[in-house]
Amino acid sequence: MQKTPTLMSLAADLESGRTNARKLVDECLDRIADKSGEGGRAFVHVEVEAAIEAAKAMDRLREVRAAPSRFAGIPISIKDLFDIKGQVTRAGSRALDDSPPAEADAPVVSRLRRAGFILIGRTNMTEFAYSGIGINPHYGTPKSVWQREAGHVPGGSSSGAAVSVADGMAHGALGSDTGGSCRIPAAYNGIVGYKPTQQRIPREGGIPLSFTLDSFGPLGRTVECCAVLDAVLADEPVRPLQPRPVKGMRFAVPTTVALDDVDDQVAKAFERTLEKLSRLGASIERIEMPEFLDVAVINKKGGFAAAESYAWHRYLLESHGGVYDPRVSSRIVRGEAITAADYIDILQARKSMIARANARFAPYDAVVMPTSVIVPPRISDLADDHAFTKANLLSLRNCTLINMMDGCSISLPCHRHGEAPVGFMLSATGGSDRRIFELAAGVEAALHV
């Protein structure tokens, strides 16, 4: 049985001549174009000619030993949130159709290009990144890989990004994460998604949801795939990832908020994972996290997302509000009622929460919890606004806890083959990115034994 390719295995294949960039690009383009697949919904724009020409160029550079990196020629997808020179950035919306094309690549896009990654296309997303579900009424909704015939949500907001990787239409993806938008779709499609410490990766050239909470991060097939892309995005050297041994790991499981209303399938996969890690020598302690109760208070009137998105969208809503998805615009306009005093209050509340949460996290290598406490619901079941709102809040809740404290966090699959997809999330305080990758790589290896 052929193993699923990773960025490292593809780099080795390119270096040895077992494959080339043109072949990789052609294979991805074929999968995107397959009418029986999700390419038409996962992508809003496909770089057919540009990707082929870039592949030819990378193959020629490799022939003369001038490839910009060992990953040169590997196709990746870019969420429709990011500027690509010469293209209109629509962020999954129709409200920006008449905007001018971007004059330059976003820094994160530029860094990926500089490493030789090939942009295969722009992926679909929740309009303006405002949902953890992934439904988009403008461009269609790509289906999760799980029981595709039943039509389950892909997770959001980086919906097309996750599906593009899970379906082999790209070998990695650039997404964003404000309250789980890399990790939730990763969990709902059985892949890995990463939210970095916010300040490590530049946010210019991406349409904001919340200036305070936005992070830009990768989605990939393995922890190491995400570590490679994260290093490129952060303009750091790509170093071999050394998995930490599970024996001796110190994990905390928060019993406050994070395990409320957990679905039976999620609980079963999560507890089974904890039991396995414990048998292998990890120390697992269930602790109270009263700081997590602060998040609901901070978000009572819509929080940072409502206040900051309204500041960005208010003029666009006046001129093009009628073309917004009502489920998105209704959440943005809540920000109009947030006063300057309210905003100052939540800034102070967050500052206090971060200090207390960091102290609570300090004795542990990571805090672990389910990425989402529910499995991906069927798209047809969310036609009702009440059902949508409930599923959206449950999808986002655990991931949001970490964005609110500016931590770093990774989701990796922990379900068994044939089961509903479940994400196992490891999180730590801001600046612990390398440690989280090493821990997650160790956990990943243990889960595959």
Q: Which CA distances in Å does 409 have to 160, 196, 400?
A: 21, 7, 11
Report the number of secondary-structure helices (H) and strands (E) in the chain.
15, 11
Task: Scan for tokens 């015939």, then name that residue.
Answer: 149
Q: For residues 322 and 325, what is the distance between their CA atoms, to the nearest angstrom?
A: 8
The DSSP output letter for 351 is H
Alpha-carbon dihedral of residues 29, 30, 31, 35, nearest 10 degrees? 120
Q: For residues 75 and 24, what is the distance between their CA atoms, to the nearest angstrom?
A: 7
Query: Among residues 93, 144, 181, 372, which one is catalytic?
Result: 181
Contact at 8 Å (CB) between 408 and 366? Answer: no
Q: Which CA distances in Å does 228 have to 38, 64, 85, 195, 420?
A: 26, 24, 24, 14, 28
Q: For residues 449 and 216, what is the distance between their CA atoms, to the nearest angstrom?
A: 31
Paired tokens of 215? 């992070």
Cβ-based neighbour number of residue 289 at 10 Å: 21
Paired tokens of 303? 């929080």
Alpha-carbon dihedral of residues 22, 28, 29, 35, nearest 10 degrees? 150
Examine the residue annotation and report whether 159 is marked as an active-site residue of this protein. Answer: no
Query: Among residues 157, 210, 215, 427, which one is catalytic?
Result: 157
Q: How big is the chain by its Cα radius of gyration, in Å? A: 21
Paired tokens of 211? 């200036």
* Sign of the torsion angle spanned by Cα atoms 306, 307, 312, 315: positive
Query: Among residues 9, 79, 143, 329, which one is catalytic?
Result: 79
Sheet containing 192-195: order of strands: 43-46, 118-123, 75-79, 173-177, 215-220, 192-195, 408-413, 423-428, 366-370, 250-254, 283-287
Examine the residue annotation and report whether 36 is marked as an active-site residue of this protein. Answer: no
Catalytic residues: 79, 157, 181
